[in-house]
Amino acid sequence: MISQLRGRSLLTWLDYTPQEVTFLLNLSRDMKERYYLGERVVNVHQGKTLLLIFEKPSTRTRVSLEVAAWQLGMRTIYSNPQELQLGRGETIEDTARVVSRMVDGVAARVFSHTTLVRFAQYSQVPVINALSDECHPTQVLADALTLWEVKGRVNGVKVAFVGDGNNNMAHSLIAIGARLGWDIRIVAPKGYWPSRRYVEDAEDVGRRTGAVLTVTDSIEEGVKGVDAVYTDVWVSMGMEKEAEERMRIFKPYQVNQSLMNMAGEGAVFMHCLPAHRGLEVTDDVIDSPRSVVWQQAENRLHTAKAILAALIR
């Protein structure tokens, strides 16, 4: 499987088969087990370089990628567009042509997913999506590892995403869940439902994996009996002008104790972080024993190592 993945970009899980996603998930778990046995440095990419281009601030994604690269023997170069010629008008395509002749991989956090697509088309090395407005593939692989750890299984996990069903986390959960055979429920107000691209893909892949996708505006219908309740911020970076309207629309979808009680005793709480406490989630939920958000955050490191180990040539 490594030979199939070597040199591939990761822009969205839509481009990967169920078998490839399962392989990377297993590799992530193996990386974590080896980490806790004391094998912190693997050195499979000794002397190679990863370029990080971040249009947006980052904590978990940047730290996990930098530490993962170092533990694989790579060095990293961190930059934002203003520090590159991108900031002075060089095209995305020209930047990709240049830097991909010098580095072994690029991880980019961008406002527009189209930027990643254009960059990858002209890059000679793998391009990894470190977050775009469409999806967040590195985060959701860590979420899948967390669910495997806390629920003891991968296939058949029931996950309810509550909030903005048209955001990058909802799309990512749909894509990876379809490939892992999940029961995925998007619980969102009408008008904030997922992109048809992701819905149609889940329906197609689900015929092979047994995955089921439900999209509803009913909180009780969506969260009843799930293994996990997942939420994300209501106002992402770049949406500040919509903040007031979004907070009004999503207020009934706040994850609080009442909602967690609807889900049932076995449900854990998940969040990709950073959390806006008191908005999409209350303190008594995120700080409760049912919360696995810190486990999710740690798993970003182990899944980043797996992705880099498998994709970088």
Query: Phi and psi (nearest 5°) for 75?
Result: -110, 160
Residues 218 and 295: their CA atoms lie apart, in Å, by: 29
Q: Among 11, 59, 23, 16, which residue's Cα sits nearest to residue 309? A: 23
**74: Cβ–Cβ under 8 A, 6 or more apart, which residues?**
45, 46, 47, 48, 49, 50, 104, 308, 312
**273: Cβ–Cβ under 8 A, 6 or more apart, which residues?**
59, 60, 293, 296, 297
- The CA-atom distances, in angstroms, between 96 and each of 51, 135, 307 are 11, 21, 20
Residue 107, by phi and psi: left (phi above 0), alpha (psi -120 to 50) or beta?
Answer: beta
Residue positions annotated with a catalytic role: 109, 136, 139, 232, 272, 300
Q: CB–CB of 10/37 below 8 Å?
A: no
Q: Among 230, 295, 215, 235, which residue's Cα sits nearest to residue 260? A: 230
